[in-house]
């Protein structure tokens, strides 16, 4: 078989003009992705689940869940599986059965936008409070909604500064507030304490909507009972990513909003569906992949996956520290935070880096061999000056994360 030279694969003009060796192009993409996989420990996608059966059976046609998951719909769709996925995620979070709604999104970003859209419709004069450690999808959503944001400081370990939040709420106590807490911040996997956020709202007599951006940690913390969406917690919405902990081979997520706290959309005549979601056409294959991940492993299987990943993260901290590279992690976290390694190491290992700090994420499917190889490369580099260890918060408790 002839291989199209690598150079031409990065050149859109070459790819769009015949003759192109299509098989070579596709094979090249797979080879590059396979080669990158060995050092891919910087970003949070699980790689341990086998989705071949779904891709083989469903991967060759359009599955469109356009409209609301509750719509009966016609044609090829997977809404029954989508409803099962939403119910499973809501159940592990102990979300009340009589006040729940949700759908399968394109990812954590859409989930955040959908939840903040619902909150902003109910509280159009509210300010949206989020910390400096929040994901960039939060200020982006604030901008899309034409809302006003209030940025709250975060501690060095990534958790929100509650005293700063309380002070900012006090300044605007006559306005409602939409507060975004993060369960698993992007860089350190810190979990904001929703009980302390609720307390800050109550102390200042501020009405509002508490949204949890739980893109990474929502499912693992829920499986441990450490993130709860029950009546006691005062949470109004939660968004999780699907391709992170559940490792689907396409980006997706789930958003859950209390049914009593959302708009019910208008009816679209030509599709005969309710317009309740951010996008119109929606990926039914993603819902099937999520359902398959859930159905094949169940709660216990996923709990075990989370526990193995945390064990590997603890191992990575020990190995890095022993090699003279002072790493740390939150006790519940897959994420290991370390001083940014020198350039030659970063060239081999694409890490998420923010100035002097980087992280690796021991997602399910990452192996001890990968950690050992990474530590060996680091050990070959000069040890850095020690960085101060941030004061770690205690393990998120049921009440801390959601109660």
Ligand X SMILES: Cc1ncc(COP(=O)(O)O)c(C=O)c1O
In the range 215-234, which residues lie near ligand X by CB under 6 A? 215-216
Q: Is 293 exposed, middle or buried (0-12, 13-18, 19+ CB in 10 A)?
A: buried
Compute the least distance from the CB of residue 330 to ligand X, in Å: 14
Compute the least distance from the CB of residue 223 to ligand X, in Å: 18
Compute the least distance from the CB of residue 181 to ligand X, in Å: 10
In the range 37-96, which residues lie near ligand X by CB under 6 A? none
Nearer to ligand X, 67 or 107 (CB): 107
For residue 105, the cross-strand partners are: 253
Nearer to ligand X, 302 or 359 (CB): 359
Using rule CB under 6 A, residue 108 touches ligand X: yes
Pairing of strands 101-105, 253-257: antiparallel
Token pair recorded at residue 36: 């990158």
Euclidean distance between CA atoms 339 and 33, whole angstroms: 27
Cβ within 8 Å of residue 196, ≥6 positions away: 162, 400
Site string for ligand X, 250-289 (x = CB under 6 A): -x-x------------------------------------
Using rule CB under 6 A, residue 359 touches ligand X: no
Q: How many beta carbons lie within 10 A of that of residue 131, not counting itself? A: 25
Among 51, 65, 168, 186, contact with ligand X (rule: CB under 6 A): 186
Among 182, 188, 273, 358, contact with ligand X (rule: CB under 6 A): 182
Compute the least distance from the CB of residue 204 to ligand X, in Å: 26
Euclidean distance between CA atoms 192 and 158, whole angstroms: 9
- Work out whether the CA dihedral 223, 225, 231, 233 comes out positive or negative: negative
Euclidean distance between CA atoms 385 and 324, whole angstroms: 9
Euclidean distance between CA atoms 229 and 257, whole angstroms: 10
**Which range in 87-95, 114-122, 173-181, 210-218 contacts ligand X by CB under 6 A?**
210-218
Q: How many beta carbons lie within 10 A of that of residue 234, not counting itself? A: 18
Compute the least distance from the CB of residue 11 to ligand X, in Å: 28
**Which range in 191-199, 213-221, 295-303, 318-326 contacts ligand X by CB under 6 A?**
213-221
Using rule CB under 6 A, residue 335 touches ligand X: no
Euclidean distance between CA atoms 116 and 213, whole angstroms: 10
Among 82, 157, 213, 377, contact with ligand X (rule: CB under 6 A): 213
Phi, psi of 49, deg, nearest 5? -100, 140
For the chain, the straight-line distance linking the first and the last C-alpha, in angstroms and rounded, comes to: 60
Nearer to ligand X, 71 or 82 (CB): 82
Token pair recorded at residue 316: 């990575």
**Which range in 68-76, 209-217, 282-290, 329-337 contacts ligand X by CB under 6 A?**
209-217
Using rule CB under 6 A, residue 107 touches ligand X: yes
Site for ligand X (CB under 6 A): how many residues? 15
Provide the binding-site residues for ligand X, judged by CB under 6 A. 107-109, 135, 137, 182, 184-186, 213, 215-216, 241, 251, 253
């Amino acid at each position: 078989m002839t291989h199209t030279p690598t150079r031409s694969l990065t050149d859109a003009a070459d790819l769009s003009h015949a003759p192109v060796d299509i098989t070579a192009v596709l094979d090249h993409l797979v080879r590059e992705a396979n080669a990158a996989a060995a050092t891919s420990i910087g970003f949070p996608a699980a790689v341990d689940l086998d989705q071949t059966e779904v891709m083989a059976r469903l991967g060759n046609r359009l599955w469109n869940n356009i409209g609301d998951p509750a719509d009966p719909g016609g044609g090829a769709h997977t809404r029954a599986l989508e409803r099962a996925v939403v119910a499973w995620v809501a159940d592990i979070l102990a979300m009340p059965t009589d006040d729940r709604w949700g759908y399968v999104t394109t990812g954590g970003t859409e989930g955040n936008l959908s939840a903040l859209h619902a909150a902003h419709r109910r509280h159009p004069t509210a300010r949206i409070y989020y910390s400096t450690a929040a994901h960039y999808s939060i200020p982006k959503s604030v901008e899309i909604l034409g809302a006003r944001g209030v940025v709250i400081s975060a501690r060095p370990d990534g958790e929100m500064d509650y005293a700063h939040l309380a002070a900012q709420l006090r300044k605007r106590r006559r306005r409602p507030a939409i507060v975004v807490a993060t369960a698993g911040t992007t860089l350190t996997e810190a979990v904001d304490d929703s009980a302390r956020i609720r307390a800050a709202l109550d102390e200042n007599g501020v009405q509002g909507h508490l949204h949890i951006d739980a893109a990474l940690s929502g499912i693992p913390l829920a499986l441990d009972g450490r993130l709860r969406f029950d009546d006691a917690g005062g949470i109004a919405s939660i968004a999780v990513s699907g391709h992170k902990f559940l490792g689907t081979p396409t980006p997706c997520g789930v958003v859950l909003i209390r049914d009593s706290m959302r708009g019910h959309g208008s009816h679209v005549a030509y599709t005969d569906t309710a317009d309740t979601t951010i996008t119109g056409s929606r990926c039914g294959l993603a819902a099937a992949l999520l359902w398959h991940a859930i159905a094949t492993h169940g709660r216990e299987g996923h709990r075990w996956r989370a526990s193995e990943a945390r064990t590997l993260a603890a191992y990575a901290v020990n190995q890095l520290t022993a090699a003279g590279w002072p790493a740390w992690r939150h006790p519940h976290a897959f994420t290991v935070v370390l001083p940014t390694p020198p350039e030659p190491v970063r060239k081999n290992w694409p890490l998420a880096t923010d100035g002097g700090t980087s992280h690796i994420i021991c997602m399910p499917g990452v192996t001890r061999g990968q950690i050992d190889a990474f530590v060996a490369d680091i050990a070959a580099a000069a040890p850095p000056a020690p960085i101060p260890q941030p004061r770690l918060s205690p393990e998120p408790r049921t009440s801390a994360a959601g109660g």
